[in-house]
Every structure is written in C-alpha cells, then in structure tokens.
Amino acid sequence: MDLTPLQWTLGALAALLVGFSKTGIPGVGILIVPLMAAVFGSRASIGTVLPMLLFADLFAVARYRAHTRWDKLRELIPWVLIGMALGTLLLAWLGEREGSRDLLGPIIGVLVLVMLGVHLARQRWGDEMAPHSRLGAASTGAAAGFSTTVSNAAGPIMGIYLTAMGMPKQQFMGTFAWYFFIFNSVKVPIFAALTLMTPDKPIFTAHGLLFTLSVAPVIAAGALTGSWLLPRMNQKLFDSAILALAAVAAVKLIFG
C-alpha cells in the first residue's frame, strides 16, 4: 500500500475508534466515516471499513452477548432490509454513472451532518423524538439500513432508537452489537456483487483488505480500551470534541 504518513495516521485513528465505538461509546463511530473517506476515497472507504467493523463486532458480541433484546431486533429486520435494498440501488447507480465527480463523498457528508443534527436534537428534546410507534420503528429501520449500506453510518440512528426504548446500558450494548454484526455480515455479499458489477469503481479492494489486516491490532486495542474506559471517562466533553471533528470532516467531504 502506498499511503502517506498522514494517511496512515488517520487510518490508525479510525481503526482505534472502530474498536472503541463497539465496546465503549458508540457515538464516536460517526468520525470513522469521514476519516476513512479522506484516506481511501468515498467509495473504496466503504469496503475498507466493513471488514474492520466486522472484526470489532466480534469483540462487542463476545463482551455483551448475554444482554441482547432480540424482540427489538426482530421488529426492525424487515425495514432494515428495505433500507439496505435502496442503498444497494444507489451504490449500483453511482458505480455505473459516468463523470469524474464523485457524488458519494457529498452524500456521505450530508448523511453525517444529518446524523449529527438528529443526535443534537435528541439531546435537546429527548423523549419527544423517541420512535415508539410502529411507524417510528419502520422509519428507523429503513433509515438505518440505507445509511449502513451507503456509508457504514447507521450508529447514530440505532443509538437514538435503542435509547428511546429505555434500555439499561448493558442491554443497549448487547442489542447494538448483534444488530451490527448481523447486518454488517449481510453487506459482505452485497459489496462483493457491486464490486464485480463495476470493477472500475470497486468497493472491495485488495489494498483495503490489506489495510484491515495491518490495523487489526489497533482495532483490538480500541475494543479493549473501550471496554475498560467506558465507566471511567468524562463522556460529555469527549462527545463534544468528536461531534465537532465529525462536522468539520463532513463539510470537507461535501465541498471537497
């Protein structure tokens, strides 16, 4: 891989956050998307991040598997699959689209800003935004499926949904862990098929898989750190810094 020292630094930071977000504070995962897009480009970053996420998911499932609320997952599954189908169609269209302008970068940037807006709105209005109804569950599932497919950025949506259910911390983390392990696994054949359909604009690349192998110890370190640090850290200050950095990175993706 021919990466600059800055790219290696950004990629290693993203790998650390991948692990940390799965066992520590899920909200920090919002920064992974723009960081990896800056290193690999918008489309290739999606396929590079996926195996990183799956590796980190194994730590999260092992740590919190006993606390999963399967009833909440089951009611989301059909809607998530619909959202994933829509996201797949968008990725296929973008892969076949002619022109040098990469539209996925701005799309990811806008998604990140929307997630930030929803996150901040939930902090302001709390339970008034809770998706308790059947329509709320349907819209949450579809939005999560779409955003996880096109940008690996469903974390804030699922965080809002699971928080609205009033789950204790352990149940939240267990349900969150299994949700992403299941649907990240579903994305593997989807991304492989899209890569075969548009080999000039691949999602999975050899460089991306090699990068995942290279940073696997960093992901593991992040996962172990998150599990240890969660009850000991000043979450409010940390979240504020992450959200600010994510906003800056998202604006850069939109405007290039």
**Which tens digits make up the pLDDT trace of 168-181?**
778 888 999 999 99
Domain chopping of the chain, boundaries: 5-255
- pTM, 2 dp: 0.81
Q: Tell me, what's the pLDDT at 97?
A: 64
Alpha helices in the chain (DSSP H): 5-23, 32-40, 42-64, 70-96, 104-125, 134-151, 155-164, 169-197, 206-229, 235-255
Using one digit for the tens of pLDDT, what is the confidence trace for 51-93? Answer: 999 999 999 999 888 889 998 889 899 999 999 999 999 888 8
Taking CA 51 as the corner, what is the angle to CA 203 and CA 196, rounded to the nearest 5 degrees? Answer: 30
Q: Tell me, what's the pLDDT at 44?
A: 87
Backbone angles phi, psi at 92, to 5 degrees: -65, -45
Q: Among 225, 240, 191, which Cα is nearest to 54's?
A: 191
Instruction: Answer yes or no: are the C-beta atoms of 165 and 72 closer than 8 Å.
Output: yes
The total number of residues shown for the chain amounts to: 256
Residues 20, 15: Cα–Cα separation, whole Å:
9
Instruction: Answer yes or no: are the C-beta atoms of 171 and 161 closer than 8 Å.
Output: no
Q: Is 145 helix (H, G, I), strand (E, B) or coil?
A: helix
Instruction: Answer yes or no: are the C-beta atoms of 23 and 12 closer than 8 Å.
Output: no
If one compares 184 and 44, the residue with the highest pLDDT of the two is: 184
Q: Tell me, what's the pLDDT at 42?
A: 78
If one compares 132 and 190, the residue with the highest pLDDT of the two is: 190
Q: Is the pLDDT of residue 211 over 90?
A: yes
What band does 195 get if pLDDT is binned at 50, 70 and 90? very high
Using one digit for the tens of pLDDT, what is the confidence trace for 152-163? Answer: 877 777 877 777
Mean pLDDT of 36-45: 86
